[in-house]
Structure 1
Amino acid sequence: MSPIGVGAIAFVCVFGGALVGMYLRSRLPDHHLAQESRDAIKLATAIIGTLSALALGLLIASAKRTFDDASADRRTSAARIVLLDRVLAQYGQETAELRAKLKAIVQVRLKAEQDDAGGDHPFSEGLEIEAAQERLRNLMPQSESQRALQQRALQLSGDLAEARWVRAESEVGGFPTPFLAVLIMWFTLLFASFGLLAPGNGTVVATLFICALSVSAAMVLIIDMDHPHLGFIRVSDVPFRWAIERIGQP
């Protein structure tokens, strides 16, 4: 499910829980909301609030690590692309077509990300790099120097192909659905207790609405950050733009 879909479900559940709590407040007998009952409810919801905060912190840490890893991988891939181009340039004029193909692969990838159509692109891009590897293997080195450059180019292209398949695999994953469901349930119970204990006036309703919207928006941003190549929050494309400017230079 998309981050916005998860956020919408979270908002409906959390704010709905607050409204249910306010409804129960008006229906329960007075002794159910006596001071002793309020203290017990506050203690129980304090445990749920602590667990929710810890779980949300784990989500933030996991998403931040995924985003940082993707940023580092992008910088490393851009550096490998430029280095591969330099190795091909040192090999000789036989690799001119391969250098042009390398630049085209990077340009297509950038365009796909800008058009927000990069869902299946890592798969096709990985195949294109493997096709370039086949051309590298078909080169006929005329000296030991060219043979060493060919081996170095194959190593770099292999690293790039591996990075593409790893990226495609990582975009399939995400936070486990049961974990998100339990977290939403905890927030729902927490807001239900707020509605149960708070007076049912417009200020309270508006405050609970804004808080529920904020919690849902936070979950959307965290889940979106866990997919750094898709959605709103993406890794920067500056490294690849830098690589394009340098590919093909003599």
Structure 2
Amino acid sequence: MDSILFAVGVAVLAFAAGMLGLKLHVWLPEKHAPDRAREMIGAMTGMLSLLLALVLGTLVGSAYTVYATQKAELETLAARTLQLDSSLEAFGPEAQPGRDGLRKAITQSYNRIWGGGGADLSGMDVKSVVAGSKILDQFLMSLTPKTDAQKQVLATANAAANQIEQTRVLMMLQLAGGISWPLLAIVVCWSLLLFCGYGLVSPVNATVVTALALGAIAVASALLIIIELSRPYSGLFRLPPGAMIETLQALGS
């Protein structure tokens, strides 16, 4: 909701900057009339347009990279979880508590994020991940293989557990970066200057006002996309739960 309010505020400010430019076009005295500086204003708005396009494109691409990376790592995490469960099953009845704990942890994670309503992101930090990894490691260390087959599946389980831990820590570290709000503030300032410049060299009519409104909405929607893609577990574009659902079904939950 805060991102939507931010985007609406940017749209309103950009439109207001454009309307200010239209008013200045009428109010300025003859010697400062925009028509006398049309080439300079056009050059400056062109430069701002280029800067805005480059930075917005880069930010959208970076935000989508975070989103796509989290999706890929979530699918990898699901695959490693199934591998670990399979190894524990092959080990024997002694490993059943570990399978139950694994199933419970996956179910709780699914319910917190996709269970309905707003996502509960508590526990999605490096400290919590490390604490959970220690519990899993201690359980695996408590298993005592009695046959060569058990030794082999325990080694496979340890390898899967290590990969799960590394993937989870990496996912949390990537999310910890967040959004560069100072950079977004600079982009907003460029947008206001650009819309004011457009208003300075444009006549006052309904078509121009409509174009300013649509342009303001376009810039605001780009900023909304950047913010929401940077929140893959709680934003408007929340990651699809398909991988988690398939994992839970395979685990028998």
Same fold judged by TM-score > 0.5?
yes
Contact 2:145–2:154 (8 Å) recurs in 1: yes
Q: Structure 1 stretch 165-174 or stretch 182-191: which is displaced more?
A: 165-174
Amino acid at match of 1:240: M
TM-score relative to the length of structure 1: 0.90
Q: Given the alignment, which residue of 217, 222, 230 partners 2:226?
A: 222
User: Is 1:122–2:124 an aligned residue pair?
Assistant: yes
In structure 1, the residue matched to 2:27 is 27
State the SS of the aligned residue for 1:111: helix
Q: Separation in 2 of the partners of 1:35 and 1:18? A: 17
For residues 230 and 163 of structure 1, what CA distance do their matches in structure 2 show? 20
Shift of 1:12: 3.6
Find the counterpart in structure 2 of residue 94 from structure 1.
94
CA displacement at 1:51 relative to structure 2: 0.8
Deviation at 1:205, TM superposition (A): 2.3
Cα distance in 1 for partners of 2:243, 2:132 equals 20
* Alignment of 1:103 onto 2:103: yes
Query: How far 1:142 sits from its partner (Å)?
Result: 1.1
Q: Is the 8 A contact 2:178 2:230 kept in 1?
A: yes
Distance 2:239 2:248 in 1: 17
What letter matches 1:138 in structure 2?
S
Shift of 1:5: 4.6
**How far apart are the structure 1 equivalents of 2:5 and 2:152?**
52
CA distance in 2, matches of 1:129, 1:16: 52
Structure 2: which 5+ residue stretches go unaligned? none
Q: Is the 8 A contact 1:100 1:248 kept in 2?
A: no
| Residue from 125, 140, 160 that aligns with 1:136 | 140
Report percent identity of matched pairs: 27
Deviation at 1:110, TM superposition (A): 1.0
| Aligned residue number for residue 207 of structure 1 | 211
User: Which residue of structure 1 aligns with residue 60 of structure 2?
Assistant: 60
Query: Aligned partners of 1:67, 1:35: CA distance in 2, in Å?
Result: 46
Q: Does the CA contact (< 8 Å) of 2:82 and 2:247 recur in 1?
A: yes
Q: Which amino acid aligns with 1:64?
A: Y
AA at the equivalent of 2:102: L
Which position in structure 2 is the counterpart of 1:167?
A: 171
CA separation of 1:92/1:34 partners in 2, compared to 1, >3 Å: closer, same or farther? closer
Cα offsets for 1:128-159 (capped at 9, x unmatched): 34322211111111123222322321221222
Task: Number of aligned residue pairs: give it.
Answer: 249
Amino acid at match of 2:220: S
Alignment deviations for residues 44-81 of structure 1 (CA, whole Å, 9 cap, x no partner): 11011011101111112111211121111011111101
Larger mean CA deviation between 13-22 and 57-66 belongs to: 13-22
TM-score (structure 2 length as normaliser):
0.89
Moved more, 91-100 or 18-27: 18-27
